[in-house]
Amino acid sequence: MQISEQWILSRAPGQAAAESGRTLSEEGCFFARMKTEDDKTYWAECTGSARNPYYVSVDWSLSDTEPAFSCSCPEKQSPCKHVLGLMYEVLAGKHFKVGETPPYVWRMRSRQEAEMAKTEARLERVRRQSTAMREKKLERQLDGLEKVEKMMSELLRGGLGSISELPAQSLERLSVELGNSDLLGARDTVEAIAACERRCRQEGLDVKQCRAELLRLLCSLHAFTERSRSFLSDQLTSGRYAMEEPVLYEQLGGEWDEDELREVGMCRRNAKLIQLSFDVTYDEARRAHIERGFWAELTHGDFVYTLNTRSAKGGAAEDSCFSALDVPLLYETPSAACPRVWWDDDSASELTDDDIGAVLKLASEHIADVVKYAAAQLGDPLLPGSVPALVRVGRVGYVEDTLTLEDCTQGRIALRDRRGGGAGRASALRLSVLSRPPAEGDALFGLVYCDEDDGRYCLQPYSVIRKSGITRLQF
Amino acid sequence: MKMELLYNLRDRLEELASAGTDTVSEDFRLMGAVEAFAELASDGGAGGRIYRAVCAMMTALPEERPALLLEALDIVRATVRENGETFVWGDLVPLRGGSGSETGAPYSKLRPLIAALQNSGSARISILGEYWAESPELFGDSRVLPYLASALGDTHEEMEELFAAVLTKQGRRAVPFLKEGFRPDCPDGRREMERRVYWVARLAGAEENKWLLSILPKCERELREAVIAALGVSQDNAELLQELYRTETGKSRDAALRALARMEDEGSRALWTEELERRPDCPPCLEGVDSALAADMAAQALHSAYTEALERGRQELTQAEMLTLSHTVYAAYGKYSDKLREEWMWLAEHMDEFDRLVPDRNVKQWDMNAAELLEKCLMETVLWNPSENVRALAAELGTRWPNRFMGSAVLTDLIMCPGEAFARYGKFIVKNGLLHRENAVERANRIQIMCALAAIRNDKDNGRHIPFSRKDALNGAPAGMRYRLEQLDPRWAETLSNPKVNQDGAVFDIKSAWSMSKLMFQMEWIE
């Protein structure tokens, strides 16, 4: 069992929770620290706002990579800040006395075993019913992966300059085959490569001008094929449930079953959503508009997003939402940072000062913590290349020609638009010309990303949250 | 970690991807970069992993290299990210309130407008026209302005007029968005980039001179021409423009000359004077330029052109001669200076001689003679530039030569003091007695007044009358945008319906009016 700060951050439901956990540890809130002899289970008591301390535990005995957590606090998010704090205690190498596992840890362990058994039983039923079909699908997918690897190998052996020499429409044909094989992630990336090549040809660009984008896509495709091959081979042999590879699950044609999500707890009850921003991008490869809503979920105190893909020919469109939404049941895809959510029913109410105040409370005070959290999330080439963040404003202004956000502790980050967004991405410019610029105490919501041209972490601002309301720089 | 070694290695790996992994054994620059990187290989961390990955790729079998290259690149990119900087060093100057406009409109309200701006074709013109009529404030929303700036490449005249109206209303607020999307190397968007430059210069003037100077070296061909023309916004550019005039060729050279027409220094004046004598095709460079120098040069050009026409001794003007003459006259539209005023007086005295200078029968493009060109010029000048000096000039010429210039004087009064115009001129269009036969002077006066009235258009949608000029392509807005009449005196309409008023020979008569302009000068306001 290896624990590191990166690992803790990757499991935290939000950057604010991770910060709070670390603060609890640094402030010495934990006492009666205990562990088992085999170092697989840790527990302690943590002083909280209540009169009695909270009982916190982290248990690796059933899985080396995915421990079970428990905490007696009333917080709904998991892992809560107390569990994260306990992990920081372990990371800091503090002394844990060896002892017998206490009853509440046994109870938590039994619950987890029961859930795993239920999941396994359900999977067993699914396995028996569709083994033959599934095997055929897996073989088709593995075959598709070989075609992708062959294309990449030919392209890179001959050089990116030879992309225009590929047989006409071969990339388009390959993408259709991949779609038919349920290799959706590969299909989308191959379509993006084809779109990049078309653009180069139509605009008469030298391949060097699109090299960076082509390589990024090829690296992503390579990561996809490597992980998919391993994942699919595992599936073929063991039929293990795909929850631990949620990104891959979707990109391999998996569709979330809402009943399954409810069963494994990937849903939230009585969620409260406030939309912070809404953006729209045109995906040339898919010939569709990608509409994303970014929300603060106040019940759990984190950020989520909604996604709608609207064909260029038409289709239902999402919209900006200026109300607060109460959602009885909110489904989410398993993901540490900013899960994608959707729901069936909601009731809207007018945004109140208290709602805005609750959003402002989610703002991080320190840019350094925000970036550290984002960096841990951005390591996966299959995930979006940006992480939503809300940061408390100290000052906003120019350092020479660079628009910059400074937090209350003089930490700074450049405010810059991500490349390739076309006319709609001029968020940083809109921020700079606001009639009322962000002031101390406001918060800036945006997407943190790493600009690979100069290796700098930047924030693309999406909205300004003030006590008086939300000013949107996108939609 | 020494980041420069990492960046160098990354660049070499990307070059290898461009050239093809089969060339790795000949890639000495990559080998050099790997060797230099070896010093970091012993750190046991990312440096070591990168070094081993790259070496493995270089020594692998050809069919294994592509995958290993991508793995190596992945590690390099991850390391770049891990070592990514965040802090921005230097003094921070806080933002002050800008001129941005936030309407708070939801995406659903903006989507059709943005879609119309992004699309091409004539269908979007009506959509945009409706939005401009019903929700003009949305055009100023800073989420819409970038799309509007990107749409400036549209060549439809209605779109140009609409954009001109929108951008004129937005003023300086639009400038950051016009600059933001500027790409001098955009192969398909040259017209859009030219228009961006034009509007930055038009809206911000000399305040954006630094930006114009910064983009000049990066611009070529038509875009360079547009930037050079825009440099006329600042008097500080006089010497540079003179240098550009000497070194540039073709249209860029003319653009420099056009910009020089806006300068006030003696060097520019001397250059222009010399060029006018040397090059008869200069005057078009004065069109649309509103400066003392331009007015003086226009006067000089008019004098030369008309004197030369008279000295030829021939009454029929060839195509080329008409072209030169008309361009010289166009160059004088809207201009005024003391020298030009003197020139007008000289021209007015010779109008009878200019009347005899007519286009050759084979010349189809013009059916105005040399005198009529000047009559129209003065009317257009009144429309473009209703300054006190121009009004006084029109009044004086209209009084001294009513059969030539009364129309301009009438137009001046219609615009500036419409109530007095009818009292002063209404009687000239009414016959005295039913049997009275209109004589040549009366006919000339009536035609003049009819032409002036024909320059007024009825803007029914807004319940007003506006003077209409030929579209000012350089300034991007018709004269109706500059000023308007609230309501024309209804007695004009009553009088013109009077049977005592001869309608013949008016603007619908080819011989006695400016038939070129009969398409533009239509008496729409009489309902």
Q: Where along chain A do its domains lie?
A: 5-101, 129-251, 264-358, 367-472
Q: Report the Cα B189 to chain-centroid distance in Å.
A: 16
Residues of chain B with Cβ-Cβ distance to A319 below 8 Å are 106-108
CB-based contacts of A423, cutoff 8 Å, min separation 6: B118, B146, B147, B149, B150, B181
pLDDT at B434: 59
Express each pLDDT in A187-203 by its tens digit.
888 988 888 888 777 77
Strand pairing category for A402-406 and A395-399 = antiparallel
Residue type at position A151: M
User: CB–CB of B106 and A475 under 8 A?
Assistant: yes
B217 and A CB contact within 8 Å: no
Whole-number CA gyration radius for chain B: 32
User: CB–CB of A406 and B102 under 8 A?
Assistant: no
Beta bridge partner(s), residue B359: B317
CB-based contacts of B365, cutoff 8 Å, min separation 6: B319, B322, B359
User: Rounded to whole angstroms, how far apart are CA atoms A143 and B52?
Assistant: 30
Q: Which residues of chain A have pLDDT under 70?
A: 1-2, 123-131, 166-168, 204-209, 236-246, 264, 334-337, 420-424
User: Rounded to whole angstroms, how far apart are CA atoms B382 and B336?
Assistant: 10
Helix boundaries (H) for B332-417: 338-349, 351-355, 370-384, 388-400, 402-416
User: Hey, how many other C-beta atoms are within 10 angstroms of the C-beta on B220?
Assistant: 12
Q: Where along chain B do its domains lie?
A: 3-82, 107-268, 269-366, 401-518
User: Hey, how many other C-beta atoms are within 10 angstroms of the C-beta on B302?
Assistant: 23
> Nearest 5 degrees, angle CA B480-CA B208-CA B141?
60
Q: Please, how many CA atoms are within 13 Å of residue A112, restricted to the half-sphere of its CB?
A: 17
User: Rounded to whole angstroms, how far apart are CA atoms A276 and A268?
Assistant: 19
Residues of chain B with Cβ-Cβ distance to A456 below 8 Å are 84-86
User: Rounded to whole angstroms, how far apart are CA atoms B166 and B148?
Assistant: 9
Q: Do A390 and A444 touch, CB atoms closer than 8 A?
A: yes
Q: Look at residue A68 and give its three-state secondary structure.
A: strand
Selection from A372, A375, A453, A385 nearest residue A411 by Cα: A372
Express each pLDDT in A435-454 by its tens digit.
999 999 999 999 999 987 78
pLDDT at B519: 30
Q: Do A8 and A1 touch, CB atoms closer than 8 A?
A: no
Task: List the beta strands (DSSP E) in A14-163.
Answer: 30-35, 41-46, 54-59, 68-71, 97-98
Q: Report the Cα A262 to chain-centroid distance in Å.
A: 20
User: Rounded to whole angstroms, how far apart are CA atoms B306 and B346?
Assistant: 10
Strand pairing category for A288-297 and A267-283 = antiparallel
CATH code: domain A367-472 is: 2.40.50
For chain A, how many residues are written?
Answer: 475
- Chain A with chain B: Cβ pairs closer than 8 A: 195
Among A152, A156, A282, A470, the residue to mutate for chain B (most B Cβ within 10 A):
A156
- Whether the bond into A79 is cis, omega within 30 of 0: yes
Q: Please, how many CA atoms are within 13 Å of residue B154, restricted to the half-sphere of its CB?
A: 26
CB-based contacts of A92, cutoff 8 Å, min separation 6: A25
User: Rounded to whole angstroms, how far apart are CA atoms A418 and B39?
Assistant: 34
Give exposure, B433-443, as e/b (b: 16+ Cβ within 10 Å).
eeeeeeeeebb
Across the interface, of B65, B92, B106, the residue whose CB is closest to A319 is B106
Residues of chain A with Cβ-Cβ distance to B70 below 8 Å are 152, 156, 218-219, 222
Angle between helices B107-118 and B123-134 (to 10 degrees): 140
A385 and B CB contact within 8 Å: no
pLDDT at B522: 39
Distance, in angstroms, between B117 CA and closest chain A CA? 11
DSSP B44-95: SSHHHHHHHHHHHHHHS-GGGHHHHHHHHHHHHHHHHHHT-B----S--EE-
User: Rounded to whole angstroms, how far apart are CA atoms B255 and B231?
Assistant: 9
pLDDT at A381: 75
Q: What is the pLDDT along chain B (527 residues), one digit of tens a residue?
A: 678 888 889 999 999 998 999 999 899 999 999 988 887 777 667 888 899 999 999 999 999 999 999 999 988 888 888 888 899 999 999 999 888 778 889 999 999 999 899 888 778 888 998 999 899 999 999 999 999 999 998 888 888 888 998 999 899 989 999 999 898 887 777 899 999 999 999 999 999 999 999 999 999 989 999 999 999 999 999 999 999 999 999 999 999 999 999 999 999 999 999 998 888 778 888 888 889 999 999 999 999 999 999 998 878 888 888 888 999 999 999 899 999 999 999 999 999 999 889 888 887 777 788 998 999 899 888 888 878 899 899 999 998 998 889 888 888 887 777 777 888 888 777 766 656 677 777 777 887 887 787 777 666 666 556 666 554 433 444 444 445 555 667 777 777 776 666 665 444 332 333 333 333 333 444 33
Beta bridge partner(s), residue A324: A274, A349
User: CB–CB of A320 and B107 under 8 A?
Assistant: yes
Among B75, B89, B92, the residue to mutate for chain A (most A Cβ within 10 A):
B92
User: Rounded to whole angstroms, how far apart are CA atoms A364 and A411?
Assistant: 12
The pair of three-digit structure tokens given for residue B425, joined into one six-digit string: 């001129």
Statement: A5-101 belongs to CATH 3.10.110: yes
In eight-state DSSP terms, residue B333 is T
- Binding-face residues of B in 81-110 toward A, CB within 8 A: 81-102, 104, 106-108, 110
CB-based contacts of A376, cutoff 8 Å, min separation 6: A6, A9, A10
Cα distances (Å, whole numbers) of residue B374 to A38, A279, B344, B346, B360: 104, 57, 9, 12, 18
Tell which phi-psi region holds residue B132, choosing left (phi > 0), alpha (psi between -120 and 50) or beta: alpha
pTM assigned to the model: 0.77
The pair of three-digit structure tokens given for residue A14, joined into one six-digit string: 């939000």
Q: Look at residue A303 and give its three-state secondary structure.
A: strand
CATH architecture of B107-268: Alpha Horseshoe (1.25)
User: CB–CB of B97 and A452 under 8 A?
Assistant: no
Q: Look at residue B280 and give its three-state secondary structure.
A: coil
User: Rounded to whole angstroms, how far apart are CA atoms A321 and B108?
Assistant: 10
Tell which phi-psi region holds residue B441, choosing left (phi > 0), alpha (psi between -120 and 50) or beta: alpha
